[in-house]
Amino acid sequence: MAVATVTLPRSAPVRRPLAGLGTLYLRRLRVTTKTVSGVIGQFLTPVLWVLIVAPALDTALGGFNPSIDYFTYVAVSQATFIVPFTAMFNGLNVIVDKDFGVLREMLVAPVRRPLIPLANSLGVLTIAVAQVVVILGLAELRGAQFHSSPVGLLWLFGAAALLTLGIYGIAEILALRISRQEAYGPLIPAIGVTPYMLCGALFPISVLPAGIEALTKLSPWTHALAVMRHGMMQGTDSGLGDIWGLGSETAMAALSLGVLALFAAGTLALAVRTFNRTTTA
Amino acid sequence: MTNPAVQVDQLRKVYPGGTEAVRGLGFEVAEGEIYGLLGPNGAGKSTTLGVLTTTVHPSGGRAHVAGHHVVREAVAVRASIGVVFQDSVLDNEFTGRENLLLHTRLWGLPSGEAHGRITDLLATMGLAERADDNVRTYSGGMRRRLEIARALLARPRVVFLDEPTTGLDPAIRDELWQLIGRLRAEQGATIVLSTHYLEEAEGVCDRVGIIHEGRMVGEGSPGQLVDQLGPDLVELRVAGDPAPVVRAVAATGIGRRAPTVRGPLVTVPIGDRAQASHHLAALSSDGIGVVASTIRRATLADVFASLTGDPITAHEEAA
């Protein structure tokens, strides 16, 4: 069949395995931070925690252990409050993409499908890391006594990153399975915040009832917080001893980081699997 | 057909739960052709387009798009296609231009080429002045034009349009069909579309495939299919039992096929208009219940009804 052709269609280009990842990542970041209210929302909570809630807790509860600067103690722990909440909250964006159909455009793009949830997770990770920087920066300005080093910062950001990725994996799975914002919404505080109460954020897990303490040792929140305190409060009780009971802080921190790595890899792998199953009939 | 742009052979799709949506479908689409998949809701059109755009995994058979296997070379298939979905699929957080820019990046267009291409297509679609407005402010017709522009950005070899005019008012539907016809000539892409607006498909498609219950029941150019059926029809409106009318029509010998009955209408394809006119007067005066009679050109809707025994209903036309 003869057709007048001005521009010949080109053949399909060979695409690199990670082609499209950067574009998907930047889109996710842009969607999350597109509006002023979105940006303020992401950073208002950490600012309030550090400037108001943490000092108040210091005043009310600070005397429980004279060897610990309680303000610094709870300032570090705010990362385990903010990061999971951010990860869970961003699951809503997955539902929005499904509801408004933008996901369908991505599904017919010449990118490998696992890159779509992975790009989402990297976008959330970027925001979470920025939040941790804000928390610790403001805490430092407000008088927190951090004892750290470049290696200590690596422990901190390593734990924060793995906790973010692990919880975002859960968020992506739930968002793909649930598909309704009103059903997903109540899970945000349930999963994003409740474990924070029991991870040693406000008090050592050793003061919990024995059964609860044993359970908290399985929680990624507990491992992440202990590694963060190991990185930022060197020379004080990080909580790693309560989890592992070993002699070497570094070895225990490495073990906890390993737990977090398994957690992140496991939930992200499940998220990719769920994504493939729920988006292709 | 040598090097078809789309090749489907014995395609099957059984969804979990056992629903068999596509049952051994086969067709080919030539490079540069506009091919319409026609059928009512549930016929298997969207599932077939889903397989061809790699969002539905086939249960059996083979399908190739632009020479690439839809399962084994899914990324290469997606690099060769543009898709316009039945529902609006735009990123509501962004402007029209930003939506197009995202597409060019995902499809790997070099930046310099992308900006020029976006500007050209926005102008072609009459959207240049609204390009930097948020797509939330676009009308339904504007959104659809932007989606067609997006589908063409990366110069795809095959463009899939799934019910492209559903939900649009008639004036915009006419405008879009004209646009689709023009773009085929200008862009040189192969276009595969699904629709249940049969009259519209008749005007724009080079060939159509009629799908019924997951099977291809007829294929050809709209003109061929209509000629095979009639090409003219006698349509008789009947008051009361149509059976005597059917018997009387059959006795005249004017029909090329057996009459079909849909409600009060008895329809029969004819080959000779003059002969049919002669018999119509007699049928109307026989007292067998004929209240009105017409001879008219057959349409794709008649072809569809003839092939499936079931017209596309008013409900589906409105869907």
pLDDT at B311: 56
Q: In what order do the strands lie in the sheet with B232-238?
A: B260-262, B265-270, B232-238, B290-297
User: Rounded distance, CA A84 to CA A219, Å?
Assistant: 12
How does pLDDT run across A123-153, given as a tens digit for each residue? Answer: 999 999 999 998 889 888 888 888 878 999 9
Domain range for B251: 228-317
Residues B270 and B216 in one domain: no
Considering only CB atoms, B57 lies closest to which of A7, A31, A281, namely A281
What pTM, to 2 d.p., does this model score?
0.83
Extended strands (E) in B204-306: 207-212, 215-220, 232-238, 260-262, 265-270, 290-297
pLDDT over 80 (residue B283): no
The answer to whether residues A136 and A160 touch, using CB atoms and an 8 Å cutoff, is no
- Percent of the residues in chain B that have a pLDDT greater than 70, as a whole number: 96
**Residue B206 and residue A107: Cβ atoms within 8 Å?**
no
Structure-model confidence comparison of residues B90 and B273, the more confident one: B90
Residues B263 and B204 in one domain: no
Select from B174, B199, B220 the last residue of a domain: B220
pLDDT over 90 (residue A210): no
Chain B, nearest residue to A106 by Cα:
B106
How does pLDDT run across A229-265, given as a tens digit for each residue? Answer: 999 887 777 888 888 888 898 999 999 999 999 999 9
- Does B191 map to a domain? yes
pLDDT at B301: 82
Distance from CA of B197 to the nearest CA of A (A): 24
B171-194 mean pLDDT:
80
Considering only CB atoms, B108 lies closest to which of A27, A101, A110, namely A110
pLDDT at A14: 58
Tokens of A192: 């994003």
B155-177 mean pLDDT:
82
User: Rounded distance, CA B113 to CA B120, Å?
Assistant: 11
User: Rounded distance, CA B190 to CA B28, Å?
Assistant: 12
Distance from CA of B57 to the nearest CA of A (A): 6
What residues of chain B lie within 8 A of the CB of A32, using their CB?
none
- Does B150 map to a domain? yes
Average the pLDDT over each of A2-11, B13-22, B24-33 and give the range with the smallest value: A2-11
Residues B94 and B164 in one domain: yes
Residue where the block lists tokens 């903010």: A82
Structure-model confidence comparison of residues B50 and B316, the more confident one: B50
Residues near B185 by beta carbon (within 8 Å), at least 6 away in sequence: A3, A4, A5, A6
Residues B140 and B232 in one domain: no
Q: How many domains does chain B have?
A: 2
**Residue A8 and residue B33: Cβ atoms within 8 Å?**
no
Chain B, nearest residue to A24 by Cα:
B106
Helix (H, G, I), strand (E, B) or coil at A99: helix
- Does B86 map to a domain? yes
pLDDT at B314: 37
Residues B27 and B142 in one domain: yes
Select from B196, B220, B244 the last residue of a domain: B220
Chain A, nearest residue to B47 by Cα:
A281
- Does B293 map to a domain? yes
B121 to each of B101, B118, B153, B181, how far by Cα in Å? 12, 5, 7, 15
**Residue B206 and residue A112: Cβ atoms within 8 Å?**
no
B281-300 mean pLDDT:
80
pLDDT at A7: 44
pLDDT at A13: 56
- Does B254 map to a domain? yes
- Percent of the residues in chain B that have a pLDDT greater than 90, as a whole number: 37
- Does B1 map to a domain? no
Using alpha carbons, select from A172, A190, A23 the residue that is nearest to residue A93: A172
pLDDT at A123: 94
Residues B126 and B255 in one domain: no
Residues B198 and B50 in one domain: yes
A16 φ/ψ sector (left φ>0, alpha ψ -120 to 50, else beta): beta
- What is the predicted ipTM? 0.82
Distance from CA of B71 to the nearest CA of A (A): 12
Distance from CA of A119 to the nearest CA of B (A): 13
> Which of B6, B78, B143, B190 best probes binding to A when mutated, by most A CB atoms within 10 angstroms?
B78
Residues B82 and B189 in one domain: yes
Mean pLDDT score of chain A, rounded to an integer?
86
- Does B94 map to a domain? yes
User: Rounded distance, CA A241 to CA A243, Å?
Assistant: 5
Residues B39 and B173 in one domain: yes
Residues B207 and B280 in one domain: no
Considering only CB atoms, B79 lies closest to which of A5, A15, A24, namely A15
| Chain A: residues touching B (Cβ < 8 Å) | 1-13, 15, 19-20, 23-24, 27, 30-31, 34, 100-102, 104-112, 279-281
Distance from CA of B84 to the nearest CA of A (A): 9
Q: Does B195 touch chain A (CB under 8 A)?
A: no
Distance from CA of B165 to the nearest CA of A (A): 17
pLDDT over 90 (residue A40): no
Enumerate the β-bridge partners of residue B285: none
A103-128 mean pLDDT:
93
Looking up residue B300, the CATH number of its domain turns out to be: 3.30.70.920
Helix (H, G, I), strand (E, B) or coil at B277: helix
Select from B220, B239, B273 the last residue of a domain: B220
How does pLDDT run across B101-136, given as a tens digit for each residue? Answer: 999 999 988 888 899 999 988 988 889 999 999 999
Q: Does B111 touch chain A (CB under 8 A)?
A: no
**Residue A100 and residue B92: Cβ atoms within 8 Å?**
yes
pLDDT at B14: 94
User: Rounded distance, CA B91 to CA B106, Å?
Assistant: 14
Looking up residue B171, the CATH number of its domain turns out to be: 3.40.50.300
Q: How many residues in chain A?
A: 281
Q: Does B265 touch chain A (CB under 8 A)?
A: no
User: Rounded distance, CA A99 to CA A145, Å?
Assistant: 46
Q: How many residues in chain B?
A: 319
Considering only CB atoms, A12 lies closest to which of B76, B103, B150, namely B76
Residues B188 and B93 in one domain: yes
- Does B79 map to a domain? yes
pLDDT over 50 (residue A19): yes
Using alpha carbons, select from A219, A99, A209 the residue that is nearest to residue A166: A219
Residues B57 and B203 in one domain: yes
**Residue A109 and residue B106: Cβ atoms within 8 Å?**
yes
